[in-house]
């Protein structure tokens, strides 16, 4: 049975998947990680060839939930989560189709869910697991989170209507696209509350952290990628993508991942730890290049985030990086806590000060790069000319960086993650291509469905937020 431990707990108290599902950070401020990784053999991978996404996802998930949630429950939740009512499927069972842009250079579409970003992939499953667990425990959970746009709508769409949860998402007044704003606004009401903070995403995230330290709000749940359930669900699409692009099971692939909070690419790293033959993990950033600087220099340094045309990657610190730190420091919780505390205090921390060579990242397979607005536009045009496909600005960051690493003669497939549909960021698409992207039928007129009172606007103040949460009786 796979047990989870906190990255900052030296006594390594072991928890089960269902124990951590309803929690955010561990009580010591750390993040939950598997104590060891279950292994997928090549024979097991071979056995999944041709399987539906629901089956692939359930197979991977059960390696973590076995002994804590019954296998039959995971099977049923997975079938429901990844059904055609949630994910547009051109071929039944193929939820994350790949398309080839250059020979051996692929884009895997993770954005065919209800809110058109890859966040739906994990959220649709996580919401069902949470509802199952809360029903078992006869509990109600209040979830407070921060979003730069996509987590909010994905979480709200997935949790809307479940009587076991209420959810309140803080989003920045600046930076989100009109489409993202409308998607969340439409979901307001019932168990869904939307707060617009007069500030940036980092202000929202800081507020959530501070509120969760108050005794009245300490037990709230989390739906961002600090929740292990999200990271865990994301492993499945790397398996699904791998099976679609290799000729022979056992061949290696490279993956490229548009990155912000480091959740998506961490799932790829976990897939690699489980035995999926991934050679390089390319971490692509936009102008907010904290991660690119980290992977090229070994120094993790905070810089204020700026608003860019790939706004879901506009972050100044990457929460999930702590999970990689723990791994690199040999599962030493004391060192990890010291590393993170150094970063929190000094706003910068070097691996070298912890006895590690900066090339440790490269040894683990990590590569990185960053992309500017102009490069993003150029990549959108390039992919469009080459293949007729329109990709969104975040995906373009990943594709652009991947192209700099791609060796067409090496015969190693490059698999780029498509993290959102272009319709979410149509102004940037128009700038790149001179026309708007196609709008899927289900999003027609989206913006006109938002009520004027869909968002409560607040300053970035803890007191104001506490008063608001009390006014809507938002506690567990
Ligand atoms: C959330 C998001 C990202 C960043 O993913 P992380 O897991 O935070 O690294 C990239 N692109 C899009 C479209 C997103 O919504």
225 lines ligand 1 (CB under 6 A): yes
DSSP assignment string, 182-196 = HHHHTT-BTTEEEEE
Q: What pLDDT digit, counting tens, does each position of 58-71 carry?
A: 999 999 999 999 99
Indicate the pLDDT class of residue 343, thresholds 50, 70 and 90.
very high
Average pLDDT (127-151) is: 95
Contact by Cβ (8 Å): 432, 377: yes
258 lines ligand 1 (CB under 6 A): yes
Q: Name every residue whose Cβ is closer than 8 Å to that of residue 382 and which is 6 or more positions away in sequence.
A: 403
150 lines ligand 1 (CB under 6 A): yes
How far, in Å, from the CA of 259 to the mean position of ligand 1? 6
Name the E strands within 90-240. Answer: 98-102, 105-109, 141-146, 165-172, 192-197
Task: For a ligand 1 pocket test, name from 115, 118, 376, 420 the mutation site with the most ligand atoms within 8 angstroms of its C-beta.
Answer: 118
Both tokens of 314, joined, read 């506009």
Q: How does the average pLDDT of the chain come out, rounded?
A: 95
pLDDT exceeds cutoff 70 at 349 = yes
Q: Which atom of ligand 1 is nearest to the CA of 234?
A: 7
Average pLDDT (115-142) is: 97
Q: Name every residue whose Cβ is closer than 8 Å to that of residue 192 and which is 6 or more positions away in sequence.
A: 156, 159, 160, 166, 167, 169
Question: Which pTM value belongs to this model?
Answer: 0.96
pLDDT exceeds cutoff 90 at 268 = yes
153 lines ligand 1 (CB under 6 A): no
424 lines ligand 1 (CB under 6 A): no
Average pLDDT (329-345) is: 97
Q: What pLDDT digit, counting tens, does each position of 169-204 carry?
A: 999 988 788 899 999 999 999 999 999 999 988 899
pLDDT at 210: 92
DSSP assignment string, 48-110 = HTT--HHHHHHHHHHHHHTTTS-HHHHHHHHHHHTSTTTS--SSTT-SS-EEEEETTEEEEE-
Average pLDDT (210-219) is: 88
Task: For a ligand 1 pocket test, name from 153, 312, 428 the mutation site with the most ligand atoms within 8 angstroms of its C-beta.
Answer: 312
pLDDT at 450: 85
Radius of gyration of the chain (CA): 21
398 lines ligand 1 (CB under 6 A): no
Q: What pLDDT digit, counting tens, does each position of 147-156 carry?
A: 988 999 999 9
Q: What pLDDT digit, counting tens, does each position of 291-336 carry?
A: 999 999 999 999 988 889 999 898 888 999 999 999 999 999 999 9
Task: For a ligand 1 pocket test, name from 121, 229, 294, 313 the mutation site with the most ligand atoms within 8 angstroms of its C-beta.
Answer: 313
Contact by Cβ (8 Å): 283, 294: no
* Positions marked active-site: 119
> Distance between CA atoms of 337 and 322, rounded to whole angstroms?
9
> Distance between CA atoms of 240 and 45, rounded to whole angstroms?
10
Average pLDDT (211-225) is: 89
Q: Which atom of ligand 1 is nearest to the CA of 263?
A: 7
Q: What pLDDT digit, counting tens, does each position of 68-86 carry?
A: 999 999 999 999 999 999 9
Q: What pLDDT digit, counting tens, does each position of 447-456 carry?
A: 888 888 899 9
pLDDT exceeds cutoff 80 at 475 = no
Residue nearest to atom 8 of ligand 1 (CA): 261
pLDDT at 476: 58
Rounded percentage of the chain residues whose pLDDT exceeds 70: 100
419 lines ligand 1 (CB under 6 A): yes
Q: What pLDDT digit, counting tens, does each position of 411-447 carry?
A: 999 999 999 999 999 999 999 999 999 999 889 988 8
Residue nearest to atom 14 of ligand 1 (CA): 312
In terms of DSSP bridges, do strands 299-301 and 348-350 run parallel, antiparallel, or are they unpaired?
Answer: antiparallel
């Amino acid at each position: 049975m796979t047990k989870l431990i906190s990255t900052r707990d030296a006594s390594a108290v072991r928890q089960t998947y269902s124990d951590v599902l309803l929690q955010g950070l561990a009580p010591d401020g750390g993040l939950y990680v598997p104590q060891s990784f279950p292994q997928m053999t090549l024979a097991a991978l071979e056995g999944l060839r041709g399987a539906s996404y629901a089956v692939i996802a359930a197979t991977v998930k059960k390696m973590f939930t076995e002994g804590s949630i019954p296998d039959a429950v995971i099977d049923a939740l997975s079938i429901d989560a990844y059904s055609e009512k949630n994910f547009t499927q051109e071929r039944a069972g193929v939820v994350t189709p790949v398309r080839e842009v250059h020979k051996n250079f692929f884009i895997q579409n993770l954005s065919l869910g209800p809110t058109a970003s890859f966040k739906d992939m994990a959220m649709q499953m996580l919401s069902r697991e949470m509802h199952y667990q809360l029903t078992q425990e006869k509990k109600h959970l209040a979830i407070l989170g921060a979003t730069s746009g996509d987590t909010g709508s994905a979480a709200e769409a997935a949790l809307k209507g479940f009587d076991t949860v209420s959810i309140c998402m803080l989003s920045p007044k600046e930076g989100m696209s009109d489409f993202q704003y409308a998607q969340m606004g439409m979901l307001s009401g019932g168990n869904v509350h939307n707060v617009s903070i007069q500030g940036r995403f980092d202000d929202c995230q800081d507020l959530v952290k501070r509120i969760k330290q108050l005794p009245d709000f300490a037990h709230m749940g989390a739906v961002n990628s600090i929740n292990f359930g999200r990271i865990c669900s994301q492993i499945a699409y790397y398996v699904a993508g791998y099976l679609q692009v290799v000729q022979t099971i056992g061949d290696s692939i490279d993956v490229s991942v548009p990155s912000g909070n480091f959740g998506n690419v961490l799932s790829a790293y976990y897939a690699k730890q489980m035995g999926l033959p991934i050679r390089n993990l390319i971490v692509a950033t936009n102008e907010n290049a904290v991660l690119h600087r980290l992977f090229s220099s070994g120094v993790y340094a905070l810089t204020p985030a700026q608003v860019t045309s790939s706004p879901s990657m506009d972050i100044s610190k990457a929460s999930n990086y702590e999970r990689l730190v723990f791994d690199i420091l040999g599962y030493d919780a004391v060192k990890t806590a010291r590393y993170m505390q150094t970063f929190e205090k000094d706003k910068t921390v070097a691996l070298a000060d912890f006895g590690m060579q900066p090339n440790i990242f490269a040894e683990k397979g990590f590569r990185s790069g960053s992309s500017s607005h102009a490069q993003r536009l150029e990549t959108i045009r390039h992919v469009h000319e080459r293949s007729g496909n329109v990709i969104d600005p975040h995906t373009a960051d990943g594709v652009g960086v991947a192209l700099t690493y791609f060796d067409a003669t090496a015969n190693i497939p490059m698999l780029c993650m498509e993290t959102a549909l272009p319709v979410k960021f149509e102004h940037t698409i128009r700038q790149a291509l001179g026309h708007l992207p196609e709008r899927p039928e289900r999003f027609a007129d989206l913006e006109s469905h938002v009520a004027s009172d869909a968002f409560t606007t607040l300053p970035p103040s803890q007191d104001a937020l506490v008063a608001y949460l009390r006014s809507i009786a938002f506690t567990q």
